[in-house]
């Protein structure tokens, strides 16, 4: 009569198969992760950044800098704005910005800036008009290269068209 329990040899063989399949899956996952673009590096925005008064800069742990400027100043809603990003010691194939407001569900506001000379990228946008006199904004700037991404978030306020920030 046959035993209801597998022999030690069958148990060892089944264990080897399970370990091989698990190890192959883990190796495949790690290879896939390694082939993906490196995770992004976050920059630290310097000083009392106020894009309504002057350009703002973010420093990265690897020594690069990203400087953002918005014009005209002060920044107004419903008025065309030019965004310029200057990269120093960072090589980027593209620079993208995402604008959002904690005060308003303004929808998707994403732009890819056009490359200029000397590590600069620029492009236009218009911030939507709101019923509020002032709005808070978050601008996420992401510089993408083959070696990964560098990003920083800049916060600023706007005033309604024709109003000056105080």
Q: Give the total number of structural domains in the chain.
A: 2
| Sole residue written with tokens 């310097």 | 46
pLDDT in tens, 139-164: 999 999 887 899 999 999 987 655 54
Question: What three-state secondary structure class fits 100?
Answer: strand
Both 31 and 45 in one domain: the answer is: no
Residue ranges of the chain with pLDDT lower than 50? 34-38, 164-166
Both 47 and 9 in one domain: the answer is: no
Cβ neighbors of 149 (< 8 A, separation 6 or more) are 37, 38, 39, 40, 41, 142, 143
Q: What's this model's pTM, rounded to 2 decimal places?
A: 0.72
Q: Which of 98, 90, 62 is nearest to 146 (CA)?
A: 90
Containing structural domain, residue 32: 1-36
Query: Would you state the pLDDT for residue 165?
Result: 46
Considering the domain boundaries, does residue 164 fall inside one?
A: no
Both 52 and 117 in one domain: the answer is: yes
Query: Would you state the pLDDT for residue 3?
Result: 65
């Amino acid at each position: 009569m046959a035993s209801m329990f597998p022999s030690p040899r069958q148990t060892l063989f089944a264990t080897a198969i399970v370990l091989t399949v698990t190890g192959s899956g883990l190796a495949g996952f790690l290879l896939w992760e390694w082939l993906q673009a490196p995770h992004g590096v976050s920059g630290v925005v310097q000083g009392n950044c106020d894009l309504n008064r002057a350009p703002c800069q973010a420093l990265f742990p690897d020594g690069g800098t990203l400087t953002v400027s918005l014009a005209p100043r002060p920044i107004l809603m419903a008025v065309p704005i030019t965004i310029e990003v200057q990269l120093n010691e960072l090589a980027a194939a593209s620079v993208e910005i995402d604008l959002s407001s904690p005060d308003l569900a303004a929808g998707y506001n994403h732009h890819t800036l056009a490359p200029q000379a000397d590590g600069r990228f620029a492009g236009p946008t218009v911030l939507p008009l709101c019923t509020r006199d002032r709005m808070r904004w978050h601008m996420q700037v992401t510089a993408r290269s083959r070696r990964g991404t560098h990003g920083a978030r800049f916060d600023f306020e706007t005033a309604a068209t024709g109003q000056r920030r105080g």
